[in-house]
Structure 1
Amino acid sequence: MTTWTDVISYVRTRYEVLEETDGWLRFRLDTDGDRTQQVAVHHVPAGDADGVAWVEISSPVGRADAIDPRRLLELAGTSLVGGAAIVDGVALLKHTLPLEDLSVREEFERPMTLLVARADELEDELTRGDRY
């Protein structure tokens, strides 16, 4: 059985953690060229959902008030993983995975990498910047 501690350990050994609490981590990944992209991984305890603990991966695209949300939804609709959301004024892509029996290497790393790459592409297209 995979635990939140397993996910934290996996991230810490592979990435430079920028910020961390008991329930989430924020770190940065290199993307194409000289670009980078922030990613946050949140723990959703079993009591908060359907009796199963979850891991939520999210990556910002831009300030919600600075992008066209309709265009974001259209572009996010072509993504293999994740969906678009606005949280605290930030547009982002996010993807959620059940924690139990999670293969951290395959079922966490692959969707995270795909999500982060797509969020960076959307950030570039919608903002022409690399803030996140």
Structure 2
Amino acid sequence: MTSWIEVINYVRLRYEVLEETEEWLRFRLDTAGERTQQVAVHHLPDVDGTAWLEISSPVGRADEIDLRRLLELAGEPEVGGAAVVDGIALLKHVVPLEDLSVREEFERPLGLLVSRADAIEHELTENDHF
């Protein structure tokens, strides 16, 4: 069984951690070209006895982007869905923490989500704010 602490340690060893609390951490990944993308991983409360991780990455400020286009783009990939939290438009994905293979079931969706979020941010804003 994988623990939240194992996920935190995995991230700390591989990525530039920008901010961390007991329940979430925010870090940065390099993407295509000289672009970077921020990502947050939240340890969600147990639901029916199962702990979950939410992986999210910002794509723009909600009041500055075409939200309809965001929803269209978010519907294309195999991972992720769109949300707006505190005025920031995000691409999000949730994985169960129990029996999580950090390399397969965390790293793969993380990479797919971050790559897609960066592409959406670039299309919607033509910038690299996040």
What TM-score, normalized to structure 2? 0.98
CA-atom RMSD, angstroms?
A: 0.6
**Residue among 49, 52, 55 paired with 1:54:** 52
User: Which amino acid in the other structure matches residue 35 of structure 2?
Assistant: R
Residue matched to 2:2: 2
Q: How big is the shift at 1:51?
A: 2.2
Match of 2:72 in 1: 74
Q: Give structure 1 regions of 4+ aligned residues with deviation exceeding 4 angstroms.
A: none
Gaps of at least 5 residues in structure 2 are none
Mapped to 2, the partners of 1:90 and 1:50 lie a distance apart of 29
Q: How does 1:83-98 map to 2 (within 5 A)?
A: 83-98=81-96
Q: Which whole-Å CA distance do the structure 2 matches of 1:121 and 1:34 have between them? A: 13
Q: Which has the higher strand share?
A: 2
The whole-number CA distance in structure 1 between the counterparts of 2:86 and 2:5 is: 27
- Please state how far the C-alpha of 1:96 moved relative to its aligned partner: 0.4
Distance (whole Å) between structure 2 residues aligned to residue 128 and residue 50 of structure 1:
42
Q: Which residue of 1 aligns with 2:11?
A: 11
Distance 2:121 2:48 in 1: 32
Q: Secondary structure at the match of 1:101?
A: coil
Matched, 1:24 2:24: yes
Task: Name the SS of the counterpart of 1:2 in structure 2.
Answer: coil
What is the percentage of aligned positions where both structures have the same residue?
75
| Partner Cα distance (2:9, 2:54) in 1 | 16
Structure 1 spans left out of the alignment, 5+ residues? none
The size of the alignment, in residue pairs, is: 130
> Alignment partner for residue 119 of structure 1, among 117, 120, 129?
117
TM-score after normalising by structure 1: 0.97
SS, match of residue 45 in structure 1: strand
C-alpha separation between the residues in 1 aligned to 2:105 and 2:24? 18
Match of 1:106, SS state, is helix
Q: Deviations over 1:63-114 (max 9, x none)?
A: 0000011000001110110100001100010000000000000000000000
Amino acid at match of 2:89: A
Read off the aligned partner of 1:112 and give its amino acid letter. Answer: L
Letter of the 1:118 partner, please give it.
R
